[in-house]
Structure 1
Amino acid sequence: MASPSFSNILNTLSPDLLIYDFNLPWAPTIASSYDIPAVDFMPVGVSMATFSLHKFMKGGDEFPFPKIQLRGFHETQFWNLINKIAVDRTKNKEGSVEAMQRSCNIILFHTFRELEGQYVEYLSALAEKKIVPVGSLVRDIDDEDENTEIMEWLDNKDESSTVFVSFGSEYFMSKEEIEEIAHGLEFSNVNFIWVVRFPMGDKVVPEETLPNGFIERVGERGRVVEGWAPQPRILAHSSTGGFVSHCGWNSIMESLKFGVPIVAMPMHLDQPLNARLVEEVGVAVEVNRDINGRLNRENITQVIRKVVLEKSGEDIRIKAREFSEMIRMKGEEEIDEVVKELHQLCKWK
């Protein structure tokens, strides 16, 4: 949306409050011209935002939370992103840093204190704003998520015997990655539902990208689905015992809500830092890559088996269930706090 059109909307509606995200860093400036308080909502993890803002503001200074670090080629990716932000700022291009700075007194994050409490406090100091977690915004399961064929297949599997494999809608795996993941799934001897996606317009037959004979060898143990599957419903199913995930933030929040431990396989953007976080709190194990960022089928096999089957992964499975129970018990507690904070801002208007 162009800023002139947005200005006209604000002028016409005259809302008491504006909530915006980092895609519209200019929105609070326009809201201010109409004396409308504006609050930034960050649909990402506080730990990732904290790490990024620390590195942006303090350069090479050591991050005070040593377990949240980047490794190998993910570190190179991150610094390329930080350098791009710095260049954009010299060209007066607004971005997420400006979006946070212009938020009125508080910044909302899609998270909860039990997951990221220590980072909430540090980011509040860095940003000089109060960081307010809104809790889990994962919606409840409804009939729109139904996929009868997949769900009937899951119904016939043992409890916690299946992994759901999905890497989000914005990353497309290379042929080499597909091959390593396929062999990892095959060697694990764990049931699986694997969602594979290809760029729009590519005429690809999924079976042709998989290793020769893969479909026949895994047989009824595995399902390969192109494009889409009802992720929340699959994660909530009793047969699902693990989530092989790119660690996008929404996927993490869904996994925690439904108590599913994570096989972390981050690809880019915020995902590597998200993977460090869920590993730190004990609900995930990350699949290590080599120095060039390549995946290895043996590592994939070992992590899947640990998270889903082996006794050594029992603590991870228990911790995931504990987070799910905590989210259920808290209900709308965080939202109630958010409402109080926003109501106070509106009173100041």
Structure 2
Amino acid sequence: MSCEQKCYKILMFPWLAHGHISPFAELAKRLIHRNFRVFLCSTPVNLEPFRKSTEEPSLEFVDLHLSSTEIPKKYHTTKNLPTHLMPTLKTALIESKENFRNVLKIIKPDILVYDFMQPWASAMASEEGISSIVLFPCGAACTSCIVHYTNQPEMEFPFESLRLSETEREKSEIINTVTNSDDNKDESLRFFGGPSASFIMVNSSNKLEGKYISYLSELVKKEVLPVGFLIQEPVQKSDDSMFVDWLSKKNTKSVVFVSFGSEYFLTKEEIEEVALGLEISGVSFIWVVRFPVGEKMGLDDALPQGFQNRVGDRGMIVEGWAPQTKILSHPSVGGFLSHCGWNSILEAVTCRVPVIAMPMQLDQPMNSRLVAEVGIGIEVQRDGEEFTREEIAKAIKKVVVEDDGKDMARNVDKLSSEVRENRDDEMNTTVSKLVQLAKG
């Protein structure tokens, strides 16, 4: 779009989780560079780190204040949120609908880009005469699986690798959430876009999920546009140096990076199995260990006795945070032991690192199956419901040490190149559709 053409206004409204806000913010930056004016709306506690770190001065932030006084402002986010407060946070957001309506009235956007977690935002935008479009921060494989099983549970999912058994469906938190949501009862596909939009957007690429994107489109009877991988490129920071220095002393593709995301916390038993699995594997590692805010347990309490002394310089263990994309992009890293959150999968592919999958909840089991299907990683086998040290060690060695890992490395390298080559075409198609929607 040329500078002479109208600069359309877009309001972004993600769910209150970093894993949702981050891809919305990345899409915002890419649209700004194509002559859109973009506003990102969330609670102040969620926007604070983006305000501090964004290098895009044209991205405008809009605070949404929740009406509820039942939950402290520091918990107006899913990050570090105690599990028992999640229903309270969801209720607080729904009860703040009129605050969001005021944002719509003040900004007067041409388009609202909203998260599938809050379909009511689309209905509200329609009432204000504003076009809306949904963005799925998760992948098309997982989304098509959810839509299939919530709308035609009696039929088998057409792709065998992601097909769920009846028991798996009953246990799936994300399928149950969609099925039982008050927003979706009697209108189960409503969250796939407002009446003004003939398409939906998904945080993915045809090169990774082409067949699932096509099937999702068939299910929702709308065009599904992959916008490319909405992740940030690694940015050099001064506090990254200790990781880079440590990695630089290791052999190429010899290190496994271990992280389970910002919103899942391993139990003491799980920490012990991961620790001993790393020890048994003999592979060098960087492990990010996180504890809930206010948790009295620290590294000394959580790790097996004598573990750190036994692994010595073979392992770097950090509490709380590490520059994930910077670490994954280092040539010494040869595997990523991950919970398979969607953003982590996209970062692994972008950085050309095979995945050792330990899915825990939500969309992660389906993402893990996709990783195995496309040959860019493997899933750690469970003993019943539990992950064990022996199976963790076995999977790590298969990816980082054995010949199977070389095939996975070649596959992820090829996929990464294809995704990058296709990125501009996918974004340009999306921009063209958004302009058409804004014009009405």
Same fold (TM over 0.5): yes
- Name which of 342, 353, 368 aligns with 1:275: 368
103-112 vs 67-76, which deviates more? Answer: 67-76
Q: CA offsets per residue over residues 100-158 of structure 1, 9 Å max, x none?
A: 15361111000000111111111111111110000012211213484221221111111
- Name which of 355, 376, 381 aligns with 1:262: 355
Give 1:96 deviation, angstroms: 8.4
- Name which of 138, 141, 148 aligns with 1:47: 141
Letter in 2 for 1:63: F
**Equivalent position of 1:343 in the other structure:** 435
- 2:99 counterpart of 1:5: yes
- 2:397 counterpart of 1:321: no
Letter in 2 for 1:222: G
| Structure-2 change in CA distance of 1:28 and 1:319 (3 Å) | same
Q: What is the 5 A alignment of 1:1-349? A: 1=64, 2-70=96-164, 75-78=169-172, 81-89=174-182, 97-102=189-194, 104-144=197-237, 146-291=239-384, 293-347=385-439, 349=440
Is the partner of 2:383 in helix, strand or coil? coil
Q: CA offsets per residue over residues 293-336 of structure 1, 9 Å max, x none?
A: 10111111111111111112221110111122223323422111
Is the partner of 1:223 in helix, strand or coil? strand
Letter in 2 for 1:50: S
| Structure-2 change in CA distance of 1:83 and 1:111 (3 Å) | closer
Letter in 2 for 1:261: P
Is the partner of 2:336 in helix, strand or coil? strand
| Structure-2 change in CA distance of 1:316 and 1:51 (3 Å) | same
Instruction: Say if 2:287 and 2:318, in contact at 8 Å, map to a contact too.
Output: yes
Q: CA offsets per residue over residues 23-78 of structure 1, 9 Å max, x none?
A: 32111112112322100000001010100110000113111001113479755421
| Structure-2 change in CA distance of 1:92 and 1:280 (3 Å) | closer
Q: CA offsets per residue over residues 150-170 of structure 1, 9 Å max, x none?
A: 221111111111000000011
Partner Cα distance (1:29, 1:207) in 2: 50
Is the partner of 1:41 in helix, strand or coil? strand
Instruction: Say if 1:206 and 1:226, in contact at 8 Å, map to a contact too.
Output: yes
Partner Cα distance (1:94, 1:205) in 2: 47
Could you say which structure has the greater relative contact order, defined with CA pairs below 8 angstroms and 6 or more residues apart? 1
Instruction: Say if 2:291 and 2:298, in contact at 8 Å, map to a contact too.
Output: no
Give 1:262 deviation, angstroms: 0.3
Is the partner of 1:165 in helix, strand or coil? strand
Q: CA offsets per residue over residues 248-271 of structure 1, 9 Å max, x none?
A: 000000000010000011001000
Letter in 2 for 1:25: P
Name structure 1 gaps, 5 residues minimum: none
CA RMSD of aligned residues (A): 2.1
Partner Cα distance (2:112, 2:129) in 1: 11
**Equivalent position of 2:31 in the other structure:** none
**Equivalent position of 2:22 in the other structure:** none
Letter in 1 for 2:190: E
| Structure-2 change in CA distance of 1:306 and 1:72 (3 Å) | farther
Letter in 2 for 1:310: E
Instruction: Say if 2:151 and 2:188, in contact at 8 Å, map to a contact too.
Output: no
Is the partner of 2:242 in helix, strand or coil? helix
Instruction: Report the number of matched residues.
Output: 345
Letter in 2 for 1:328: R
Partner Cα distance (2:337, 2:102) in 1: 45
62-71 vs 192-201, which deviates more? Answer: 62-71
Partner Cα distance (2:207, 2:130) in 1: 32
Is the partner of 1:132 in helix, strand or coil? strand
Is the partner of 2:151 in helix, strand or coil? helix
Partner Cα distance (2:180, 2:349) in 1: 37
Partner Cα distance (1:92, 1:138) in 2: 29
Letter in 1 for 2:365: P
Is the partner of 1:67 in helix, strand or coil? helix
Instruction: Say if 1:41 and 1:107, in contact at 8 Å, map to a contact too.
Output: yes
Partner Cα distance (2:311, 2:180) in 1: 49
